[in-house]
Amino acid sequence: EIVMTQSPVTLSVSPGERATLSCRASQSVNINLAWYQQKPGQAPRLLIYGASTRDTGIPARFSGSGSGTEFTLTISSLQSEDFAVYYCQQYNNWPLTFGGGTKVEIK
Amino acid sequence: QVQLVESGGGVVQPGGSLRLSCAASGFTSSSYGTHWVRQAPGKGLEWVAFIWYDGSNENYADSVKGRFTVSRDNSKNTLYLQMNSLRGEDTAVYYCAKDRLATYTFDYWGQGALVTVSS
């Protein structure tokens, strides 16, 4: 099983600032990496797939990068609606696995 | 619009069984694989199971293999998760999620169904 490790666990950021979230895989997942956003009481929402492709309707301030074992989600200028928990997920191998999440909170 | 609506959650004793349903609408559900993903209270996401668009193949997480069975009835646009031999660690919100074009990512999710395993 591929283990996904996200860091930091919590990220405190002021509105308008940039947020950088990291995700590391225990072995290469190529670019088969997705990012999700989850707000309290809601289902997750797909943001990014293929490591860097935004899903339909996702604002351009969200960007993804990386390949192999190291990935980054960047939110260029945090808006109030972006404060949430973010999960990475690999789909290169079965079983599909998620990282533990990064909570982006208001500083 | 795409909608997934889970039902069948509730409280069950350890060792018991429960069946979740997921009704799909707003898209041709028979053309897409579907997943179950769960989230224990206050915890992260865990993928549980996947069934191909035509029901011809399934994949399971090791934690549920042999106890859970995923199935679908495309004539009813409905997905099922039969859960047997339930344990306390199965307590979670269970989401059904549509597969995004056979990529094994999840582009639409239901609102979730809470399953509580407790005596």
Write out the two tokens for B102.
Answer: 């056979």
Q: Which of A91, A94, A95 sits opposite B105 (nearest CB)?
A: A91
Q: Could you tell me what percent of chain A has a pLDDT over 90?
A: 98
Distance (Å, rounded) from C-alpha B45 to C-alpha B82?
A: 20
Query: Nearest Cβ partner of A91 from B103, B109, B112?
Result: B103
Query: For residue B28, what pLDDT band results from cuts at 50, 70 and 90?
Result: confident
Gap between the Cα atoms of B40 and B45, Å rounded:
8
How would residue B101 be classed by pLDDT, with cut points 50, 70 and 90?
Answer: confident
Report CA A57 to chain centroid distance, whole Å: 16
CA distance A84 to A105: 7
In this structure, are strands B106-109 and B10-12 parallel, antiparallel, or unpaired? unpaired
Residue of A32, A39, A89, A96 best to disrupt the B interface, most CBs of B under 10 A: A96
Task: State the average pLDDT over residues A74-85.
Answer: 95
Q: Would you state the structure tokens that stand for residue A82, as one six-digit string?
A: 């972006």
A21-52 pLDDT, tens digit per residue, is 999 999 999 999 999 999 999 999 999 999 99
Q: Are B39 and B46 in contact (CB under 8 A)?
A: yes
